Structure 1
Amino acid sequence: MKQHTAMITGASRGIGAAIAKKFAAEGWNLVLTCLHSKEKLETQALELHAAYGITCFTFAGDMGSKRDVQDCFRRMEERFEGVDVLINNAGISHAGLFTELSLEDWEQVMRTNSTSVFLCTRQALPYMLKQKSGSIVNISSVWGCVGASCETAYSASKGAVNALTMALAKELAPSGIAVNAIACGAIDTDMNACFTEEEKADIAEEIPAGRFGTPDEVAGLVFAVACQPSYLTGQIMRLDGGWI
């Protein structure tokens, strides 16, 4: 039987690392990318290979850069034919008043959170179209659904991801390719390190589940969605403990 391959962007920590571990544990080969943590990503790949016997290809580069994405896929395709599942997870946050948001900060958030989804999806599709199968799972946020005060750029970037997900799902459904998004709520990752413990406790009190979600919970849902029949497509699934 063919061994499937999954590509996970932003895989060196947090949600991306948890997703990589979940797919590896299920016997999938992996393509893992990051921007800054090359050594950490390579160590992670070695550990996953040792633990689960799968093959990992790692790439350090900017998934918001056309050149880097093309280079990543060119080198990856020398080892694998293509990817069966693409998880667009690379992302950054930005907090602050809209009146103090610079154009440079806006463009960086949009490039990392939205343009990366466009570029990686565009490169992954030829193989999926040839196979008439595949799954794309975009890691989004509840703020892309409802917006967040003082996180306008982040909210806009995730809103773009949600709209792209729904539109592309309709376009690719005849080809047997599913496109879905997981809109995460408050997940216990480094991205929330900007909050004090007191602030985290206040946020947890607002969540009906009474706590932050975990990267492993996101990973479990991502894997389940990726392995569903392609009839499940165009969905923005909120994983937020009933928060929003």
Structure 2
Amino acid sequence: MNGVAMHIANGIVNAQVSAIFAAVAAAALAICVWRGRADLDDRLAPMAGLVAAFIFAVQMLNFQVLPGVSGHLLGGTLAVVLVGPWVGALCVSTVLIIQCLLFADGGLTALGLNITNMALVGTAAGYLLVAGLLRILPKTPRGVAITAFVASVVSVVIASQMFVIEYALGGTTELNLTTIAGTMAGAHVLIGIGEGLIAAVTVATVARVRPDLVYALRRFRKTASPVPAVPAPAVGGVA
């Protein structure tokens, strides 16, 4: 009963909870497809393919976390910085589905759990952090690199704790939840640092060469509102 690359294996979480999260994942991905269609254009579509291929490659790096579960670089924050939350979630989901069906990375019955944790919770947490940090940090290659690093570390830990919630709801073996939460958090802080470094270097490189290809820069530069000008007072009381 071995899981691979933070993927949950068959039998780690019972069938009822797995089915619930499969339905949640399917509904959420349908929303991502609907919302993502508005973002896709001649510039974003090829970038989405490159992002998915890159995430697939970095997810080959695995770190053992628990019996039956191991951790890996998730790529959710990198995806949302480059292609946005909706398309980013679809990129990560596509990678997870291919890994499950072709390479048996994670159980088929646990696919909904894995998509929920890595493609949905991981990318959502990453995007919220990116949105918050880019309101404070400069919208420059250095600023977006720092943003990607911090958001990667935090979002990876949040995604790992989602597994703890799922295990609490339907875990099939007797393991202490506090121990699981602490072990997952500690291991994924280290994994998040590795992911953050990769994400920071990647997005900074793209931002320097082609800033127009970085979704986060386009999105938050556009929404930055200039300070309104204060009208000059009338001279001599005449408007």
Which TM-score applies when normalising by structure 1?
0.28
Structure showing the higher helix proportion among its residues: 2
Structure showing the higher strand proportion among its residues: 1
Which TM-score applies when normalising by structure 2?
0.29
Q: Rg larger in 1 or in 2?
A: 2
Structure of higher RCO (CA pairs closer than 8 Å, 6+ residues apart): 2
